[in-house]
Amino acid sequence: MVVVMESNATEEQIQRVIHKLSELGFDVHRSTGVTRTVLGAIGDKTGIDIRDIEVLPGVREVIQITEPYKLASRTFKPEDTVVKVRDVEIGGNKVVVMAGPCAVEGRDQIMTIAEKVKKAGAHVLRGGAFKPRTSPYSFQGLGEKGLKYLREAGDAFDMPVVTEVMERDQVDLVAEYADILQVGARNMQNYALLKELGRLRKPVLLKRGMASPIEEWLMSAEYLLSGGNFNVILCERGIRTFERYTRNTMDISAIPVIHKLSHLPIVADPSHGTGIRNKVIPMARAAVAAGADGLLVEVHHDPEHALSDGAQSLYPEQFEVLMREIKVIASVLGREM
C-alpha cells in the first residue's frame, strides 16, 4: 500500500508513520516529492487494520494498491523517473536514441558503425557481446573481447554504451564495461539475474518478454526496484502474436499504457519489434509520436554480411533519415533530441 502524507506533514509525523509501518512488518520506501512525501509499504497487509495508519497525524490518504507492483507504480512515485547515464538523461524532455549493430563482430566493425551513428546524432552506442540466439549453431557473440571493443568505440566517439547481460555470473564482468546493462526479452523473468542487477546501481534496460503482459513486465521491474536499483529503463520490443508478416508485433500502445501506470522511462525497439528493415522507420516514427522516451535501433554498415539480425538492421543512410524525421515528430510534442 501507499501512504500519502499531507503537504505540511512534519518530519516527526513522517517518522512516526514509518515506525508504525515497520512495526507492522512492512518494508518502507520513502519518496520525497516537491509537494509531499509518499511512503511505499511493501509487505503482507493481511490482518492489518488500515485505519490504524489512516488516523495517524499528518496522513492524508492510504491507498491500497491493487496492482501487484508497487515501487514501479505512478501512485508510489508520481514524477517521471529520469535515468542519468553519463551526460545523457533518459526519461526527461529529450528523446534519446541508442543505435548500433545487433552484435559486436570485431573492432573495425564497431568503430565504423559507431562513427556513423554518432555523426547522425545517436546518443548511446549499442552492441551485443553475449548473444541469446535461438540456435546454438549461430554466432554467440565475442564475449569479453566484444565488451572491450564496444567500450573502446563508445569512448572514441563519446557515447555511453548499452549491452546485454544474459546470466547472473556475467553481471560483474559486463558492468565493468557497460554504462547500461540490457536484460533481453528471453531473460525478462530470469529472477536470479534481476536480483543481482537490483543490487547494482547501474542503469538497466529491461526488455519486455515476447509473451509477457505489461503487468508481468512491471513485476520484473519491481525486482530491480525492490533490490534498491531505481535506474530502470523499460523497452518495448514487440510481442509474439499470430501475425506472420512481421517477426513480432510492435505494441505501440504499451508506451502510453506504461506512462500511465509507471514513472519509469520507456524506449521502443522497432528493429526487433518488426524484424524487417523497411518496417523499422515507420514504427520508430510511431513510437516517438506515441510518447516514447527513446529508441533502440539496429544499424549496420554491411547488413548483408552481418552475423546476426542483418535483415532488420538499417543502413547508416537510412538511420540518418530516421533521425531527421523523428526530430520533427519530437518537436511537435515539445520534445528535443
Residue nearest to Mn ion (CB): 102
Q: 316 contacts which partner out of ligand PEP, Mn ion, none, CB within 5 to 8 A by kind?
A: none
Strands 88-90 and 59-63, by their bridges, are: unpaired
* Residue numbers 285-324 binding ligand PEP by CB under 6 A: none
- Our measurement of the distance from residue 221's CA atom to the centroid of its chain's CA atoms, rounded to an integer in Å, reads 9
Identify which range of 65-73, 110-118, 178-186, 285-293 contacts ligand PEP by CB under 6 A. Answer: 178-186
CB 276 within 8 A of CB 312: yes
Positions that interact with Mn ion (CB under 5 A):
102, 309
132 contributes a contact to ligand PEP by CB under 6 A: yes
Shorter beta-carbon distance to ligand PEP: residue 212 or 226 = 212
138 binds ligand PEP (CB under 6 A): no
**Considering only residues 32-71, where is the footprint of ligand PEP by CB under 6 A?**
none
Question: Do 233 and 266 contact (CB within 8 A), yes or no?
Answer: yes
Total number of residues that touch ligand PEP (CB under 6 A):
9
Long-range Cβ contact pairs of 164-169 (< 8 A, separation 24 or more): 164/128, 164/129, 164/130, 164/131, 164/132, 165/130, 165/193, 165/197, 166/130, 166/132, 166/193, 167/130, 167/193, 168/192, 168/193, 168/195, 168/196
Asked if 184 touches ligand PEP (CB under 6 A), the answer is yes
Distances (CA, A) of 306 to 113, 133, 152, 248, 319: 12, 14, 20, 20, 16
Please give the helix or strand (H or E) that residue 28 lies within, else none.
strand 27-32
207 binding ligand PEP? (CB under 6 A):
yes
Name the residue with the smallest CB distance to ligand PEP: 184
Instruction: Closer to ligand PEP by CB, 45 or 133: give it.
Output: 133
| By CB under 6 A, residue 272 contacts ligand PEP | yes
Candidate list 40, 100, 128, 154; residue touching ligand PEP; CB under 6 A = 128
The residue within the footprint of ligand PEP, chosen from 21, 102, 104, 306 (CB under 6 A), is: 102
The C-alpha atoms of residue 154 and residue 323 are separated, in whole angstroms, by 19
What whole-number distance in Å separates Cα of residue 147 and Cα of residue 178? 8
Q: Out of 14, 90, 104, 185, which residue is the one contacting ligand PEP (CB under 6 A)?
A: 185
Quick one: 21 or 166, whose CB is closer to ligand PEP?
166
Q: Which residue(s) pair with 36 in the sheet?
A: none
Report the distance separating Cα 205 and Cα 90, nearest Å: 11
The count of residues in the chain is 337
247 binds ligand PEP (CB under 6 A): no
Task: State the binding partner of 185 from Mn ion, ligand PEP, none, CB within 5 to 8 A by kind.
Answer: ligand PEP
Contact between residue 140 and residue 176 where contact means Cβ atoms under 8 Å apart: no
Instruction: State yes or no: residue 232 binds ligand PEP (CB under 6 A).
Output: no
**Residues making contact with ligand PEP (CB under 6 A):** 102, 128, 132, 184-186, 207, 237, 272
